[in-house]
Amino acid sequence: MLRRPKDSKAVFEEIRSLLTEQRNPRSLDIDTKSIPEILEIINEEDHLVAPAVKKEIPYIAKAVELIVESFKQGGRLIYVGAGTSGRLGVLDAAECPPTFGTPHWMVQGIIAGGYGALVHAVEGAEDNAKAGIKAIRRRRVSPRDTVVGISACKRTPFVVAAISEASRRGARTIYVTAIPREKVDIQADVIIAPVVGPEVIMGSTRMKAGTATKLVLNMLTTASMIRLGKVYGNMMVDLQATSQKLIERSKRVIMMATGVDYEAAAKYLRLAKGSVKVAIVMILAKVGYDEAVRRLKEANGFVRYAIEIKDKDRG
């Protein structure tokens, strides 16, 4: 259920009580410090981020399961956020096609204020709950999709409304915030709450909270893509060779996976029509293009299993 708009005093009181809006006792006199001392304080606080994320792994794992289910059903992962949170969601979505060879529709990012808000702050966009609802409707979110709301302070109206609408439409929902779980009153299937404590600069959640969010989003998409067979060992095998760097990386992956030299890797990448996966299966299983494609389909895209498939139907 969407909460009714609050008056200014109520919003003030809510914000004042948030952990992300408290003063950090370890940086109270940071304005008197030398540059190296300032940087040491920031760095020491950053050391709190990874342990906070580690505590959330059970919840992150549940979220990955939901995302993988969506992908297997032909659904999407859609991030929704405002400000830093929105930019991080759009960034993670944008990096999936070149890294994992996903179609652009598969992982998407919605930011309050539209894509212009990626480079310039759009005043008041995060407070527009109606815009959050419209954004979900515009994407025609369905029960096949998973929608991830990102809000360090947990209260962002645009994000709360978007998650509420996504849930109403039957989508799986996940909420990522820096507020202790017991204080999160958002209705979502999974709450991920890495508590990193007050920021070095009060309320500047682009710092520790933003770093924690980036780590969580990395885990969500990377683990999901691994479960879809887009990684062989620890190498990207579904990357899209859309630049010279990625073409050469493709060849290097083939070389490392199979032991062939540079010229052979280039040859097989060409024979495999640019697919690193197909090239690896062709080399290691000693099969042609069509058979490699068939094996990968039978193995649901997993290179390791495609190599191990026997030609049982051929005797």
pLDDT digits (tens, 9 = 90+) for 55-69: 999 999 999 999 999
CA distances from 3 to 9, 158, 160 (A): 16, 12, 9
Give the lowest-confidence range in 11-20, 185-194, 293-302: 11-20
Residue 2: per-residue pLDDT: 47
Domains of the chain: 8-227 (3.40.50.10490), 231-314 (1.10.8.1080)
Residue 64: per-residue pLDDT: 98
The answer on pLDDT for 4 being more than 60 is: no
**Helix segments in 128-206, DSSP class H:** 129-138, 157-168
Residue 10: per-residue pLDDT: 66
pLDDT digits (tens, 9 = 90+) for 209-249: 999 999 999 999 999 999 999 999 999 999 877 789 989 99
Q: How many CB atoms lie within 10 A of CB 262?
A: 12
Annotation marks residue 182 as catalytic? no
Per-residue pLDDT band at 13 (split at 50, 70, 90): low
Residue 7: per-residue pLDDT: 67
**Higher pLDDT among residues 314 and 116, named by residue:** 116
pLDDT digits (tens, 9 = 90+) for 278-291: 999 999 999 999 99
Per-residue pLDDT band at 296 (split at 50, 70, 90): very high
The answer on pLDDT for 305 being more than 80 is: yes
Per-residue pLDDT band at 311 (split at 50, 70, 90): low
At residue 107, the 3 state secondary structure works out as strand
pLDDT digits (tens, 9 = 90+) for 104-148: 999 999 999 998 999 888 878 999 999 999 999 999 999 999 999
Angle between helical axes of 262-271 and 244-258 (0-180°, round to 10): 110
Q: Which one is catalytic: 56, 126, 165, 199? A: 126
pLDDT digits (tens, 9 = 90+) for 34-56: 999 999 999 999 999 999 999 99
Annotation marks residue 298 as catalytic? no
Q: Is the pTM of this model over 0.75?
A: yes
What is the mean pLDDT of the segment spanning 250-261? 96
- Cα–Cα distance between 244 and 178 in angstroms, integer? 39
- Cα–Cα distance between 106 and 93 in angstroms, integer? 9
Q: Which one is catalytic: 14, 21, 65, 95? A: 95
The answer on pLDDT for 1 being more than 50 is: no
Residue 94: per-residue pLDDT: 96
What is the mean pLDDT of the segment spanning 67-90? 97
